[in-house]
Amino acid sequence: MDIDNANTTAITRLMEARPILKGVAAAKDVIPGMRDNLFLHAGPPIEWARMSGPLRGAIIGAMLFEGIAASEAEAVSMVERGEVEFDSCHHHGAVGPMAGVTSASMKVYVVENAEHGNKSFSNLNEGYGKVLRYGAYSEEVLKKLHWMNDVLGEALANALANSSGIDMRALIAEALHMGDEGHNRNKAGSLLFLKSLAPLIAKTMKDASAMSEVLQFLGDNALSVLNPVMAACKAMTDAAHGVEGSTIVTTMARNGTDFGIRVSGLDAKQWFTAPAEIPVGLFFSGFSQADANPDIGDSAITETAGIGGFAMATAPAIVTFVGGTPKDAMNATLEMYEITFAESKYFTMPSLDFRGTPTGIDIRKVVELGITPRINTGIAHKNAGVGQVGAGLVRPPLAIFEQALLAYAEKYGL
Amino acid sequence: MDIDNANTTAITRLMEARPILKGVAAAKDVIPGMRDNLFLHAGPPIEWARMSGPLRGAIIGAMLFEGIAASEAEAVSMVERGEVEFDSCHHHGAVGPMAGVTSASMKVYVVENAEHGNKSFSNLNEGYGKVLRYGAYSEEVLKKLHWMNDVLGEALANALANSSGIDMRALIAEALHMGDEGHNRNKAGSLLFLKSLAPLIAKTMKDASAMSEVLQFLGDNALSVLNPVMAACKAMTDAAHGVEGSTIVTTMARNGTDFGIRVSGLDAKQWFTAPAEIPVGLFFSGFSQADANPDIGDSAITETAGIGGFAMATAPAIVTFVGGTPKDAMNATLEMYEITFAESKYFTMPSLDFRGTPTGIDIRKVVELGITPRINTGIAHKNAGVGQVGAGLVRPPLAIFEQALLAYAEKYGL
């Protein structure tokens, strides 16, 4: 079997995918298989008993948000009675940062891959501070979520309905020339997003004061575009999945307990998992490494698509947020060329003479070299209800790539 | 005399200046000495007979815009009869990109230096294509100018009147971390500008369709923020002028015929000039080096304040616009440390480990080393009425630094 040939097919599909942000709608109206008592979460599938604090917190918050539980205690006993169901976002074409919890009535971005037709979804970004995705679910967190769903989500839905969509691949490419790496640094991308949306919002929103709040929120939140970027990366990597014989990783995701990957040439339901590492980075005032939860979130879909930690060379200013020096950031990218199959045609880095980002993690190279992918990530507090405590760097456990390679050898009789 | 001491004072004033964009108003209402028949222009003072094509074109266009002439022929004969007056923008605290022509009823940005109290001004940016500042004055150019004055200018004036102003030093500092150098690349800065203005515009504009056009224009024009950035640099460099004994350059400006500089320790009316060089760069389709006018515009105020060509190391993507390689861009900045007196405290470059930009051109070093400042610039067609034909790099003639050093030696009896 010609593995390189299979990988070329997978990578070509990944790179030629053209994710267009088409709209915003309630999850239950657009996400396949979504239903009222289903709660999607980041990472590989996991049962309640093994869930980490921040993931539990986000699920409790989402149940309060949906109004199906009136208190934390009620939410927990409903879960324990089996009245709600859980599934991985990835099984439904969705991705969410950190806990990634997505419930039926939450508004989500709808991205369509204009090249191959597949769709992907992501929830709306809440900004910094106490937020559901880091496991916080106070009154204030829920109030903001309702505003986001009712005012912001409605504004985005109407704005996008009045447009031909936003070309996310072009947006990411431009942001990488403006000091973003697309995962932990999305300052430029979020402003490009605002630039596309503002004239549409002006045309479609009636209430001047609400419009001003929406524009302020989108502009001030340097992560506004993270979720549509993640959905775009999901559309790209999903397009690369299912290529017979390919050793390219199409998913890296963490649920706060386990780190899981999936591989193009293996079954979509076949996850390779091991305990997630604890990220190392810079902590907000009052917190330290001891507060950190193990790695969590679907945002490693960015690295899977060749940006994020893989594109740090183009984002030297990110070190003020994740630690290290600009030289470390450069080296992170250079190291990732060792374990990837190709260089992106569309995502280039001026500081490396416009070289394409390292794209398509090859499980063979990871295992052979013992070099695991580099991921930029936010750091959640390990207890439910607290929220973000820092940002830093993490790698997946090497064992899951070894497991995947064994499964690959078994399937293909090598 | 302790020259270094004088230069430290001048540079401290330059760096500690805090330019705040306070408003937008008609030139005649805010610019000192402005009057109906006065036309300000970029660069050192120059009479009509010696003006280049693009500067003449812009003056004709401004006269048509003001309605004091009905045709090109009438405008020219009014000029020849001495019915209009000209002066350098710099004599009125103003700066304008390229031709820099500013007339009485044109709306201008008003910047106030919160640290030292001086004010500066700049006209509104017209975007790319056929524009007055490159000497074009067709119907279409004038129509856009009227829309800018009546709709955009009014919107900006009302928005800023509802705010405490925009901190331009902070905006520039952030843009330099996002791949801008602040002169020829202002993509990020223009989006940061949009982000500050959009919520204010939403609150103050009534007409939804006009609002949408204004937000679209501000967002699509990657030079939107150039003019307020230039006014900010003018406020900073003006604050550094007039320090007895200082050899720091406080103005570099070109009128399309002459390149002129002024020096802190010498008289504000004392310009040192020589014929401007022709920029070398990349040309738009259909144009070549043979079409290029000599260097023109006040935008070299950015380099005078330590950004633009001096900060190219932080803006590697600019080479797609001005030519050369990212390595050349890095070297341009490194070379400028040789002829500057200090490193900026506020403008830092992640790619150089957050080193401050080279700040404060010292005429002693320029003459001693024979290294002239590097300037990023747009390139105008040499004939009136055509417009921009490319962008590239240019240096001032060494002779003007030698003249300035001689005048300095004479004044201070060295």
| CATH label of the domain that carries residue A330 | 3.90.1700.10
Q: What is the pLDDT of residues B219-265, one digit of tens each?
A: 999 999 999 999 999 999 999 999 999 999 999 999 999 999 999 99
Contact state of B350 with A192 under an 8 Å Cβ cutoff? no
What is the pLDDT, as a whole number, of residue A199? 98
Residue B25's SS3 state is strand
Contacts of residue B372, Cβ cutoff 8 Å, sequence gap at least 6: B339, B366, B395, B396, B397, B398, B401
Contact state of A326 with B213 under an 8 Å Cβ cutoff? no
State the pairing for strand pair A107-113/A355-361. Answer: unpaired
Q: Please, which residues 341-370 of chain B have a Cβ atom closer than 8 Å to chain A?
A: 350-351, 353-354
Last residue of a domain, one of A200, A230, A260: A230
Q: What share of chain B is helix, strand, coil (3-state, %, to 5)?
A: 45, 20, 35
Residue B347 host element (H or E): strand B340-349
Last residue of a domain, one of B194, B211, B230: B230
Separation between Cα atoms, residue B344 and residue B331, nearest integer Å: 18
The residue type found at B191 is L
For residue B198, name the pLDDT band (cuts at 50, 70, 90): very high
Chain A partners of B208 at a C-beta cutoff of 8 Å? 202-203
Chain A partners of B209 at a C-beta cutoff of 8 Å? 203
Mean pLDDT of B61-84: 97
Domain for residue A287, yes or no? yes
Contact state of B209 with A203 under an 8 Å Cβ cutoff? yes
Q: What is the pLDDT of residues A62-79, one digit of tens each?
A: 999 999 999 999 999 999
Instruction: Yes or no: say if B376 and B309 are a contact pair by the CB < 8 Å rule.
Output: yes
Chain A residue with the nearest C-alpha to that of B349: A317
- Is the torsion defined by CA of B231, B234, B236, B238 positive or negative? negative
What is the pLDDT, as a whole number, of residue A130? 87
Chain B partners of A216 at a C-beta cutoff of 8 Å? 198-199
Mean pLDDT of A329-342: 97
Tokens of B261: 């500089």
Mutate to test the interface with B, among A195, A197, A331, A348 (most CBs of B within 10 A): A195
Contact state of A203 with B194 under an 8 Å Cβ cutoff? no
Assess whether B261 and B156 both reside in one domain.
Answer: no
Assess whether B214 and B82 both reside in one domain.
Answer: yes
Query: In the 8-state DSSP scheme, what is residue A362?
Result: B
Q: Which domain holds residue A115?
A: 23-230
Instruction: Out of B187, B198, B316, name the one closest to residue A351 (CB).
Output: B316
Give the CA diameter of chain B. Answer: 65
State the pairing for strand pair B249-255/B258-263. Answer: antiparallel
Instruction: Out of B179, B212, B220, name the one closest to residue A202 (CB).
Output: B212
Chain B partners of A348 at a C-beta cutoff of 8 Å? none
Does residue A373 surpass a pLDDT of 80?
A: yes
Contacts of residue A67, Cβ cutoff 8 Å, sequence gap at least 6: none
Strand partners, B342: B359
> B151 and chain A: CB distance < 8 Å anywhere?
no
Separation between Cα atoms, residue A165 and residue A104, nearest integer Å: 24
Assess whether A32 and A143 both reside in one domain.
Answer: yes
> B275 and chain A: CB distance < 8 Å anywhere?
no
What is the pLDDT, as a whole number, of residue B385? 78
Assess whether A214 and A297 both reside in one domain.
Answer: no
Contact state of B187 with A178 under an 8 Å Cβ cutoff? yes
What is the pLDDT, as a whole number, of residue B13? 98
Domain for residue A237, yes or no? no
Domain for residue A217, yes or no? yes
Domain for residue A407, yes or no? yes
State the pairing for strand pair B258-263/A280-283. Answer: unpaired
Instruction: Yes or no: say if B387 and B131 are a contact pair by the CB < 8 Å rule.
Output: yes
Chain A residue with the nearest C-alpha to that of B202: A212
Assess whether A225 and A249 both reside in one domain.
Answer: no
Assess whether A82 and A131 both reside in one domain.
Answer: yes
Residue B113's SS3 state is strand
Separation between Cα atoms, residue A124 and residue A223, nearest integer Å: 10
Look at residues B241, B98, B114 and name the one whose alpha carbon lies nearest to residue B169: B114
Assess whether B207 and B270 both reside in one domain.
Answer: no
Q: Please, which residues 163-182 of chain A have a Cβ atom closer than 8 Å to chain B?
A: 177-180
Does residue A38 surpass a pLDDT of 90?
A: yes
Assess whether B272 and B353 both reside in one domain.
Answer: yes
Domain for residue A268, yes or no? yes
- Residue A327, classified by CB atoms within 10 Å of its CB into exposed (0-12), middle (13-18) or buried (19+), is exposed
Q: What is the pLDDT of residues B84-110, one digit of tens each?
A: 999 999 999 999 999 999 999 999 999
Contact state of B178 with A177 under an 8 Å Cβ cutoff? no
Separation between Cα atoms, residue B397 and residue B259, nearest integer Å: 7
Mutate to test the interface with B, among A351, A352, A354, A355 (most CBs of B within 10 A): A351
> A220 and chain B: CB distance < 8 Å anywhere?
yes
Assess whether A158 and A202 both reside in one domain.
Answer: yes
Last residue of a domain, one of B205, B230, B255: B230
Domain for residue B364, yes or no? yes
Separation between Cα atoms, residue A249 and residue A304, nearest integer Å: 7
Tokens of A114: 């204009």
For residue B387, name the pLDDT band (cuts at 50, 70, 90): confident
Assess whether A221 and A314 both reside in one domain.
Answer: no
Contact state of B198 with A215 under an 8 Å Cβ cutoff? yes
| CATH label of the domain that carries residue A154 | 3.90.1710.10
Q: What is the pLDDT of residues A179-191, one digit of tens each?
A: 999 999 999 999 9
What is the pLDDT, as a whole number, of residue B341? 98
Domain for residue A260, yes or no? yes
Chain A residue with the nearest C-alpha to that of B313: A351
Assess whether A149 and A208 both reside in one domain.
Answer: yes
What is the pLDDT, as a whole number, of residue A332? 96
Separation between Cα atoms, residue B284 and residue B275, nearest integer Å: 25
Instruction: Yes or no: say if B342 and B362 are a contact pair by the CB < 8 Å rule.
Output: no
Q: Kindly compute the dihedral angle of the four CA atoms of residues A149, A150, A155, A161, in this order, to the nearest 10 degrees.
A: 80
Instruction: Out of B195, B203, B212, name the one closest to residue A191 (CB).
Output: B195
Assess whether B256 and B128 both reside in one domain.
Answer: no
Residue A396's SS3 state is coil
Domain for residue B9, yes or no? no
Residue B326 host element (H or E): helix B326-336
> What is the least distance, in Å, from the CA of A303 to any CA of chain B?
21
Look at residues A262, A284, A208 and name the one whose alpha carbon lies nearest to residue A88: A262
Strands (E), A157-207: 166-167
Strand partners, A359: A342
> What is the least distance, in Å, from the CA of A310 to any CA of chain B?
17
Quote the number of domains for chain A: 2
Q: Regarding predicted confidence, which is higher, B117 or A320?
A: B117
